[in-house]
Structure 1
Amino acid sequence: MIPIPAGRVTLSDRRTQRRWPVEVEAYHIAAFAVTQAEYALVTGAQPSAARGDRLPVESVSWWDAIRYCNARSQREGLRPAYHLDPENGEDVGWDDSADGYRLPTEAEWEYACRAGTTGPRYGPLDEIAWYRDNSDGHPHEVGGRRPNAWGLYDMLGNVWDWCWDVYDAEVYGSYRVLRGGGWFDEHWSCRASVRRRSHPTFTVDDVGFRVARSGPR
C-alpha cells in the first residue's frame, strides 16, 4: 500500500463536457491491482479467464470487489468499510471512518494515477502500460511496466479498475465507474481522464480492481 498525500484533482467527462474539482484527503492505495493469488487466498475463488498467480484478477464484478474488500479486512483484523444489507442485495453503505480495505473513489484513482502530472498519461504509453498494440492479446503479470512517480504500477492498461462511484445515476442508474483502460483497449482509452461505466454485476476478462484504505483522521 502506497501513502498518497492530500490534494486536489479536476475530473472531466467527455460525454457531458463537464469538469469539476475534487479535494482528496490523504489515503493509501495498492501499488498493484489485486492478483489472482491474493483474490483466491481471501475468497477461495478463481474467476479469471487467463490463469496465473501474479496476473491481475479479472472477470470480477463490482460486487465481487466490494465483498473481497470486506473479507480481506476481516481476515486482517480491520473494520470493514462496507455495510451490506442482507435483505436487499442492491444496497451497500460506505463507512468512511473504517480502516478496512475499499475501492478508491474515482477522484482518488485519477489523483493517484496522475501522481502530480497534468498530461493524458504519466509516461510514454509503451513503457507504462499493456494495451492492444503491445499486449499480444492477453493480460500480463502486475508490475511489468514502469510505475508512475508515486510507485504505482499498471494504473493505465492491463485491466480496468472498478471505482466506488456511481457514474451518472439519472442516466445510467446503478452503473459504476471504471478507470484506466485494459489490455484489449486502443491507446485513446488508456488515459488518466477516461471514464467508463458498467453495471455492478458486469464481468469481463479485462476488468479487475485495486484496493485503497482511508488515511488517519
Structure 2
Amino acid sequence: MHAFPLWPAAELAPLRSGYELLVKAVTGALQHARQGALPPFARTLGLPQPELLALLSTCHPRGDAQAPIPESKYAAIVGTVPRLFSDVAAMLAERRTPEADPRHADWLARAIAAAALGTRFLWQDLGLAGRHELTALIRLYFQPLYQRNTTDVKWKRFLFLELGALQGNPRLKPPGCSGCGQFKVCYPPAMEASAQR
C-alpha cells in the first residue's frame, strides 16, 4: 500500500493549484543560489539565458526584470553545471506527470536537481515551508516517481536511490548528506555495510 494517497486523474488535469507552489520552489532555489547557499551554477538552473529570463518573467510578471548577465560570464557559469545535476534533472523530466505542463515540469526538475546538491533538506533549499509542500509538488508534477516512494523515504535520498539504481550505483548519495544530523537515520550503519559488499 502506498504511503501517500493518490490523487484522482480528474484532479491532475489542470494542475493549477500547484502552480503557486512551483513558482515558490523555483524562485526559492534561485534565491538560495544568489545567496550562496547553493552552488553558483544553480543561478542559471542550467538553462540558456533567454529561457531563464522567460522563467523569471513568467514567475514574476510584475516584479523587477532581471538584467541579463553578459553572455561570456553566463556561459562560464553554465559551464560549471555538474553532470550529477543534469542526471537528476533528466531523471525527473522522464517521470513527468503526463498532464503537467512540460515547460513548468522542466523548470521544477531543474530547481529540484539544483537544490538536491545543497547541504540542507531538499525542501529547505527549495524555499518551501516543509516536506509536505515538496511531496505535493512531486505528486503533481512527477506522479510516476511519487508512486514509487512507497515507504515514505525522504525525497533527496529517494532521488539518489532511484538515480543510483538507474546507473548501477547503489551507493550513490547526495553530496552534503554526510554532514547532516539525520545521516544515520537515512543511512544506518547496517545499510552502509551491506552496500559495501
Compute the TM-score of the two structures, normalised by the length of structure 1.
Answer: 0.23
Larger helix share, 1 or 2: 2
**Larger Rg computed on CA atoms:** 2
Q: Which has the higher strand share?
A: 1
